[in-house]
Structure 1
């Protein structure tokens, strides 16, 4: 039986009205997308959240686990040896564990960004010898990466329980 728009559970938040500087706009939109995907995953039923809903194997919980790894690699210098594996959350982790780990990683990434006022400066990395992108590039990349996967999460969450919106 097909659902109608009224049957869907809709929560929506408009885009941010951020400050006037480039850094404020970039960070405002990144934080908006981060909150959007975390809320999309939060409260989703565990078996369905980790089940593949499309032939590629993409699943809601795996998307957030992947973004946790991307945040960590981009802003904190974490090393990832198998990017494909990041699309699957550890079996022992509940939805709430993955959401909490994502939010903690975002908080730590924001602490790094708070100390980086110059967008054209290289991102500080704890791994010496590895070239670092500029803060501007890293923020833009994370907006693209998070936005792309937030769109995937929108569809996956709607398939799970008809929840739509940000």
Structure 2
């Protein structure tokens, strides 16, 4: 298998405010995981690369749902199902949908001037988390799955780096 190596990108240099640092690191992770999925070959991108059944395209599809639930107030009723992208969706479809969700989530975050205040969107009947909690949660979730994506992509075609 040919190995493709990309140069790693260093962590972002952000402004000094807490919001800028949190958003800078979240956007860094978001772009890293999207780049890891972009260009991955079919059908390998959908195939389980580890015994748990985890697949690269499913990870990005799942992260799209996490963003939608956390920042856009969508209610997810079957989290396990979010780990499989619909069979009719291409890699490009899933990446584009994720990037659009990130754009919409950032528009919501732009309205969050107080990190202690709740995110302005929440599913009906549920209390919204604080913007600070939501940002930290998405950094944790995206970072965790970005690490998984690194390993899965390397197993698929040898591509490494961010």
Q: Which residue of 43, 50, 57 maps to 2:53?
A: 57
Spell out structure 1 runs of 4+ moving beyond 4 A.
none
- Give the whole-Å Cα distance in 2 for the aligned partners of 1:118 and 1:126: 17
Deviation at 1:46, TM superposition (A): 1.7
Structure 2 equivalent of residue 34 of structure 1: 30
SS of the residue 1:139 aligns to: helix
Unaligned runs of 5+ in 2: none
Structure 1 equivalent of residue 126 of structure 2: 130
Structure 2 equivalent of residue 45 of structure 1: 41
Structure 1 equivalent of residue 14 of structure 2: 18
- Give the whole-Å Cα distance in 1 for the aligned partners of 2:110 and 2:53: 36
Aligned length: 162
* RMSD across aligned positions (CA): 1.3
1:33-86, Cα deviation, whole Å (9 max, x unpaired): 000000000000020101000010000000000000000000000111100000
Unaligned runs of 5+ in 1: none
- Give the whole-Å Cα distance in 2 for the aligned partners of 1:19 and 1:46: 39
Counterpart contact for 2:122–2:128, Cα < 8 Å: no
The normalised TM-score by structure 1 is 0.94
The normalised TM-score by structure 2 is 0.96
